Amino acid sequence: MKPGPKAELESLRRQVEHHNRLYHQLDKPEITDQDFDRLFQRLLQLEAEHPELVTPDSPSQRVGSAPLGSFAQVKHARPMLSLDKVFDEEDLKRFEERCKKRLGGDTDLVYSCEPKIDGVAVSIIYENGILARAATRGDGTTGEDITHNVKTVKSIPLRLVGASIPAVLEVRGEIFMTKSGFAAMNRDAEAKQERTFVNPRNAAAGTLRQLDSRITATRPLTMFCYSASAGNEGELPDELEAIFQRLGAWGLPLNSLRRTVSGIAECLAYCHEVLAQRNSLDYEIDGVVVKVNSLAQQQALGMNARTPRWAMAYKFPAEEVATTLLDVEFQVGRTGTITPVARLEPVFVGGVTVSNSTLHNMDEVERLGIRIGDKVIIRRAGDVIPKIVMVMRDQRPAQTRVIVAPERCPVCDSPVLKDEGEVSLRCSGGPVCQAQLEQSLIHFASRTAMDIEGLGSKLVEQLVAQTLVMNLADIYKLDEATLTNLERMGAKSAQNLLANIDRSRTVSLPRFLYALGIRDVGEATALNLANHFGSIEALLNASEAALIEVPDVGPVVAGRVAEFFAEPRHRALLQQLLDAGVRPAEQQVAPRESLPLAGETWVVTGTLEALDRNQAKAVLQRLGAKVAGSVSARTTCVVAGPGAGSKLATAESLGIKVIDEAEFLALLARHDSAVEKA
Ligand code: IVH
């Protein structure tokens, strides 16, 4: 007898999910892609005919759905903790000693170890085996509901299979993008002249924050689970490894490199093994997580403020590799600064292929004692740009070339100047220098400035080379006929670009000020200036004395701003922009009080990974906080990275709130988008 649609759908769903798992998780497909497509198409067709039979766990839900308006907040049943970190073997041994001391025994502990994945932490709740909700870590207590996005990740089952599945099961783990998937996605984006991502972690984070899950569905995300808990006691085994076995049997994705070891010596051996494999893995890791295997011991060890005492992250050193300095080029920036840039024999380090690295200035060249032809060591840690850290002097080849500072601009041939008291060289050509013009245009159009998507460096080069754009205001004179005459520019792209250019006419005042590219006026300063003066007209006529009144504007910046607006060429440019219909929205003067961190004083100490201290300072200021250099009773909160010393100690003794980088980033994610939208 032919099965009814309900039974057939049920069977199709199971088959599709089964083959999904074989393909995406186990890498062992048993049927051809065509056969899989046939099953999937049949499923879609039958569901279309019987919409009342569509279930939330149907694989059809993986294609994504119409965009959400915003993310709902989700309170975690138990806080999502961070991990303490150690950077060397001695500190890891001390971790074991502390555990033993607390547990009051001297027998070796058993640990569950696995690579620390550089991705995004998520919590997924299964109710009666069906994926019910997924959330980000957020600040550890409250995250964002990203169920719509997580459902599109093919290695995450929508329905668990097998026996003894707890009625409510929460699994936590890391969602990430493979290196190969990331590279393919960026190649694709480049070909379409779309935005590319910096690294797999940012790409994964950005993808999970998509409101439109149809976009998420096209991105190569995947996941490893690293912990689980059940709604009722006794529903899960009492050892981590045994829990992992169950999770695997239910169809959840796990890292196959995980290992249960006994004693810290075995742990260290495991860490070395993983470190040796690091570059050959198709995902980014930044260390190993060591967890006490027994849940009873975990319970007995308990936790610190935000970290469990039973787990430790053993962080790998920043990656370093050797390569050769092929040449040094001098690049001209938008303010005319001339920077020596190292051209390197391409090497893969820290998840990206590096072929260039800035040498900053001639003082740095001298400090490194570097010559063209030298073998050098480059380092790349996290999001930090790759850097030459050392020259291998003992391997210097017979033929090397000394790096000589240029006397004339390599682009426009104007004389090169060196400002008093500064290390950098500067092209004196101003706007006649094509490089300065190009860089100003790229900066103007960039995401954090006027946000003109589609106006990237390749296009800017063409526009400048063909003298179609000779200053910032010329952007607003472009038309479809001119654009479609350019290389790689179809009618559709041209129309999109023109729409984006048009949209930029009404940017916010802080963005507009930042976009002008006034020396030393970054995003935070631009915001402060906008908040203080409220309109471009008011700022245009401000004296240096009035400028110094602005928070965080000192005499140097005040001088730069006054000088910029006093320059007749700049006033003419502003007029042209206004004539072209650019009308930066007036800013409510002094809405500082309404900013989320208004009235608060923050201190940043220790090393942060995702952003440097200046960036952290800038975002805090953007959110209305004052950033201080030292901790006092008036400090609201301290952001402490590893290596934090006396400031952290002072904060603790004064009972001032201290947060780590993960919490800080979560807080920014919550507030920053709010500010961005405003
Ligand atoms: S276990 C108490 N295992 O690292 C938290 N975490 O720095 C237990 N992470 O927020 C976490 N890979 O998102 C664990 N194999 C792994 C991990 C891992 C990455 C992340 C996790 C956590 C962060 C802490």
CB 418 within 8 A of CB 363: no
Phi, psi of 657 (to 5 degrees): -60, 135
User: Ligand 1 center to residue 83 CA distance, Å?
Assistant: 7
DSSP notation for 67-80: PPSSPPEEE-SS--
Q: Which atom of ligand 1 is nearest to the CA of 224?
A: 15
For a substitution probing ligand 1, which of 252, 260, 289 has the most ligand atoms within 8 Å of its CB?
289
What would the pLDDT profile of 603-648 be if each residue is shown by its tens digit? Answer: 998 877 777 777 788 788 878 888 888 899 899 999 988 777 788 8
Q: Is the pLDDT of residue 403 over 90?
A: yes
CB 195 within 8 A of CB 446: no
Measured distance CA(436)–CA(459) in Å, rounded: 15
Smallest CA-to-CA distance from 126 within 168, 173, 78 is with 168
What would the pLDDT profile of 306-323 be if each residue is shown by its tens digit? Answer: 889 999 999 988 778 899
User: Ligand 1 center to residue 116 CA distance, Å?
Assistant: 6
What pLDDT score does 384 carry? 64
User: Ligand 1 center to residue 99 CA distance, Å?
Assistant: 19
Q: How confident is the model at residue 295 (pLDDT cuts 50, 70, 90)?
A: very high
What pLDDT score does 335 carry? 87
Ligand 1 residue neighbourhood (C-beta within 6 Å): 81-83, 114, 116-117, 121, 137, 174, 226-227, 289, 308, 311, 313
What pLDDT score does 381 carry? 63
Measured distance CA(290)–CA(520) in Å, rounded: 44
Q: How confident is the model at residue 676 (pLDDT cuts 50, 70, 90)?
A: very low
What pLDDT score does 478 carry? 96
Beta-strand relationship, 387-391 and 375-380: antiparallel
Q: Is the pLDDT of residue 193 over 60?
A: yes
| Bridge partners (DSSP) listed for residue 581 | none
Smallest CA-to-CA distance from 272 within 321, 318, 316 is with 316
Percentage of residues of the chain with pLDDT beyond 70: 97
DSSP notation for 79-148: ------EE-SHHHHHHHHHHHHHHHT--SPPEEEEEEEE-SEEEEEEEETTEEEEEEE-TTSSEEEB-HH
Give 580's DSSP letter.
Answer: T
Confirm whether 458 is a catalytic residue. Answer: no
Smallest CA-to-CA distance from 641 within 202, 84, 98, 95 is with 84
For a substitution probing ligand 1, which of 86, 226, 255 has the most ligand atoms within 8 Å of its CB?
226
Buried (b) or exposed (e) across 380-396, using 16+ Cβ within 10 A?
bbbbeebbbebbeeeee
User: Ligand 1 center to residue 289 CA distance, Å?
Assistant: 7
What pLDDT score does 628 carry? 85
For residue 129, the Cα-to-chain-centroid distance in whole angstroms is 32
Beta-strand relationship, 637-640 and 337-349: unpaired
For a substitution probing ligand 1, which of 80, 81, 83 has the most ligand atoms within 8 Å of its CB?
83
- Please indicate whether residue 62 or residue 460 has the higher confidence score (pLDDT): 460
User: For ligand 1, atom 21, which residue shows the shortest CA distance?
Assistant: 121
For a substitution probing ligand 1, which of 116, 223, 244, 252 has the most ligand atoms within 8 Å of its CB?
116
From 6, 75, 101, 116, active-site residue: 116
Tokens encoding 590: 């002094």
Mean pLDDT, to the nearest integer, of 464-485?
Answer: 94
Strand order in the sheet with 130-136: 130-136, 120-127, 168-177, 221-230
User: For ligand 1, atom 10, which residue shows the shortest CA distance?
Assistant: 82
What pLDDT score does 138 carry? 86
User: Ligand 1 center to residue 82 CA distance, Å?
Assistant: 7
What pLDDT score does 258 carry? 97
User: Ligand 1 center to residue 232 CA distance, Å?
Assistant: 24
Q: Which of 569-573, 657-661, 670-674 has the lowest mean pLDDT?
A: 670-674
Smallest CA-to-CA distance from 119 within 491, 328, 483, 382 is with 382
Q: Which of 450-464, 538-552, 639-653 has the lowest mean pLDDT?
A: 639-653
Q: Which atom of ligand 1 is nearest to the CA of 291?
A: 1
What pLDDT score does 350 carry? 66
Q: Which atom of ligand 1 is nearest to the CA of 258?
A: 15
Q: Which atom of ligand 1 is nearest to the CA of 81?
A: 2
What pLDDT score does 650 carry? 87
User: Ligand 1 center to residue 657 CA distance, Å?
Assistant: 23
Q: Which atom of ligand 1 is nearest to the CA of 121?
A: 13
- Please indicate whether residue 352 or residue 157 has the higher confidence score (pLDDT): 157
Smallest CA-to-CA distance from 505 within 473, 532, 482 is with 473
Smallest CA-to-CA distance from 249 within 175, 165, 152 is with 165
Helix (H) or strand (E) holding 519: none
Tokens encoding 428: 């004196």
> Looking at this protein, which amino acid is placed at residue 374?
D
User: For ligand 1, atom 3, which residue shows the shortest CA distance?
Assistant: 226
Cβ-in-10-Å burial (0-12, 13-18, 19+) of 169 comes to buried
User: For ligand 1, atom 16, which residue shows the shortest CA distance?
Assistant: 116
Measured distance CA(67)–CA(359) in Å, rounded: 44
Measured distance CA(493)–CA(480) in Å, rounded: 10
Count of alpha carbons within 13 Å of 215, Cβ hemisphere only? 12
What pLDDT score does 677 carry? 34
CB 323 within 8 A of CB 347: yes
Task: Spell out the SS3 assignment of 408-472.
Answer: ECCCCCCEEEECCCCCCEEECCHHHCHHHHHHHHHHHHCCCCCCCCCCCHHHHHHHHHCCCCCCH
Q: Which long-range contacts (CB under 8 A, 24 or more apart) does 329-332 make?
A: 329/410, 330/405, 330/406, 330/410, 330/425, 331/435, 332/409, 332/410, 332/411, 332/412, 332/427, 332/433, 332/435, 332/436, 332/439
Smallest CA-to-CA distance from 296 within 243, 240, 245, 230 is with 240
Smallest CA-to-CA distance from 534 within 567, 552, 515, 510 is with 510
Mean pLDDT, to the nearest integer, of 87-104?
Answer: 92
Smallest CA-to-CA distance from 387 within 317, 330, 321 is with 321
> End-to-end alpha-carbon separation of the chain, Å?
62
Mean pLDDT, to the nearest integer, of 113-117?
Answer: 97
Mean pLDDT, to the nearest integer, of 199-220?
Answer: 90
- What is the average pLDDT score of the chain? 90
What would the pLDDT profile of 369-402 be if each residue is shown by its tens digit? Answer: 999 999 999 987 655 678 899 999 999 999 999 9
What would the pLDDT profile of 3-39 be if each residue is shown by its tens digit? Answer: 789 999 999 999 998 898 888 877 788 898 888 989 9
Phi, psi of 358 (to 5 degrees): -75, 145
Mean pLDDT, to the nearest integer, of 135-161?
Answer: 93
The reported pTM is 0.62
Give 369's DSSP letter.
Answer: T
What pLDDT score does 68 carry? 80
Measured distance CA(621)–CA(619) in Å, rounded: 5
What pLDDT score does 280 carry? 87
Give the sign of the dihedral formed by CA 126, CA 132, CA 136, CA 139.
negative
